[in-house]
């Protein structure tokens, strides 16, 4: 029996495209949904034989906005995956959702279909920050979505947050954290806004039309999140993720622990045995390939041993497991311990909160040469 694996399914449809978003997402393509669903089902059929004997412990629907699809379609998709892949009875099944794309009725349908974990894209509880991010929902929509999810019966909710948007202050971020805690999610993700050159926001920043994020302020925001969420009882198990005990995201831990995963859908990535591959990104091209009976692979890469080692160090530090000190000469890591960026915990080198802010530098310093 192979080691446990995960399944990622990409749903590329969105109501609108946000200016900062660099994901493979599209607005105004609703007419493709029936054909896209059929392509997903067909790709699962084409892919599953290559994963015979593998047990799957998680399914994650991301996007895009999966909940722009009808609950009945998502139910059919999940049932098809269960038929084609060997999923464990307690497999974690997550769908992402934007606040304005769910109702109590739709959430009941998702829960009954087997989606027991819901990840809601709140991003902020400051209306000005939401406008800066070009999000179309209001803070009240997040509150309503969480309330609807609880009434529907969800007992595993995650809220996604973004910090460091133009105009956001440390005080505003503190209010967003406090509002998040007031809703009692089991899991919180908090990501620093990054500027991707190919996005609308990236072009605006490059042209000098709007300022980019202030890295010092973002560092303060990260440290504040560590304090506020930690004081509230959330365990910090990955740089950008906090959870109540037992509610860590199984699927994302699979990525960070370098477990194998299947990627289905336009632009989805897969990974197994140091080989990473990805599907073609345009939905139309993806559907055409699958409809012709072809796996829609757009490219692949084999990690050489040095790249695999570098990735192993980076990911072990990222999920705060730490790496064995025995992997390095003491001269490599002692300066970081002395400067308060690493802690030597019984032979495991674990980043401090300050060290997490300099993770790339830590990894390069530990592994250089």
Instruction: Evaluate the omega torsion of the peptide bond into residue 64 and state whether it is cis, within 30 degrees of 0.
Output: yes
Banded pLDDT at 228 (limits 50, 70, 90): very high
- Burial tier of 326 (Cβ tally within 10 Å: 0-12, 13-18, 19+): exposed
Banded pLDDT at 173 (limits 50, 70, 90): very high
pLDDT at 352 over 90: yes
Using CA atoms, how far apart are residues 158 and 252, in angstroms rounded to an integer?
13
pLDDT on residue 368: 86
Least confident range of 248-252, 268-272, 317-321: 317-321
DSSP string, 20-46: T--SS-EES-GGGHHHHHHHHHHHHHH
pLDDT digits (tens, 9 = 90+) for 263-305: 999 999 999 999 999 999 999 999 999 999 999 999 999 999 9
Using CA atoms, how far apart are residues 91 and 87, in angstroms rounded to an integer?
6
pLDDT at 54 over 80: yes
pTM: 0.96
Beta-bridge partners for 263: 8
pLDDT at 2 over 90: no
What is the chain's percent helix, strand, coil content, to nearest 5?
45, 25, 30
Using CA atoms, how far apart are residues 10 and 22, in angstroms rounded to an integer?
14
Q: What is the 3-state secondary structure (H, E, C) of 136-198?
A: CCCHHHHHHHHHHHHHHCCCCEEEEEEECCCCCCHHHHHHHHHHHHHCCCCEEEEEECCCCCC
Please answer whether residues 167 and 129 qualify as being in contact, where contact means their C-beta atoms are separated by less than 8 angstroms: yes
* Extents of the domains making up the chain: 5-256, 305-367
Contacts of 212 (CB under 8 A, 6+ apart): 195, 205
Nearest Cα residue to 276 out of 285, 265, 284, 268:
268
Please answer whether residues 289 and 280 qualify as being in contact, where contact means their C-beta atoms are separated by less than 8 angstroms: yes
Contacts of 305 (CB under 8 A, 6+ apart): none
pLDDT on residue 348: 96
Relative to beta strand 117-123, strand 86-97 is parallel
Instruction: Please tell me the CATH code under which domain 5-256 is placed.
Output: 3.20.20.70
pLDDT on residue 120: 99
pLDDT at 66 over 80: yes
Q: Is the dihedral of CA 303, 308, 314, 316 positive or negative?
A: positive
pLDDT digits (tens, 9 = 90+) for 331-342: 999 999 999 999
Using CA atoms, how far apart are residues 28 and 55, in angstroms rounded to an integer?
37
């Amino acid at each position: 029996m192979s080691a446990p694996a995960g399944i990622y399914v990409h749903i590329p449809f969105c109501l609108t495209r946000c200016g900062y978003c660099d994901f493979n997402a599209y607005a105004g393509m609703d007419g493709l949904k029936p054909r896209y669903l059929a392509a997903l089902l067909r790709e699962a059929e084409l892919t599953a034989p290559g994963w015979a004997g593998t047990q799957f412990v998680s399914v994650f629907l991301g996007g895009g906005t999966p909940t722009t699809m009808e609950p009945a379609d998502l139910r059919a998709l999940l049932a098809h995956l269960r038929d084609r892949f060997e999923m464990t009875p307690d497999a974690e099944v997550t769908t992402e959702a934007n606040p304005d794309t769910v109702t109590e009725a739709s959430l009941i349908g998702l829960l009954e279909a087997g989606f027991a974990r819901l990840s809601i894209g709140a991003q902020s509880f400051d209306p000005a920050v939401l406008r800066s991010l070009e999000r179309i929902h209001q803070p009240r929509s997040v509150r309503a979505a969480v309330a609807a999810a609880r009434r529907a019966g969800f007992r595993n909710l995650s809220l996604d947050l973004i910090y460091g948007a133009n105009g956001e202050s440390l005080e505003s971020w503190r209010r967003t954290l406090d509002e998040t805690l007031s809703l009692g999610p089991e899991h919180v993700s908090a990501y620093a806004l990054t500027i991707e050159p190919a996005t609308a926001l990236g072009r605006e920043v490059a042209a000098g039309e709007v300022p980019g994020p202030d890295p010092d302020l973002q560092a303060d925001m990260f440290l504040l999140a560590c304090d506020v969420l930690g004081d509230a009882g959330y365990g910090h198990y990955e740089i950008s993720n906090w959870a109540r005990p037992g509610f860590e995201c199984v699927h994302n831990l699979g990525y960070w622990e370098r477990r194998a995963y299947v990627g289905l859908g336009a632009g989805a990535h897969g990974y197994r045995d140091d080989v990473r591959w990805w599907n073609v990104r345009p939905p139309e091209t993806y559907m055409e390939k699958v409809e012709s009976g072809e796996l829609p692979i757009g490219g692949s890469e084999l990690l050489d041993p040095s790249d695999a080692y570098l990735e192993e160090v980076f990911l072990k530090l990222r999920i705060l497991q730490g790496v064995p000190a025995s992997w390095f000469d003491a001269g490599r890591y002692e300066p970081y311990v002395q400067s308060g960026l690493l802690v030597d915990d019984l032979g495991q080198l674990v980043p401090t909160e300050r060290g997490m802010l300099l993770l790339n530098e830590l990894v390069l310093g530990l592994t250089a040469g």
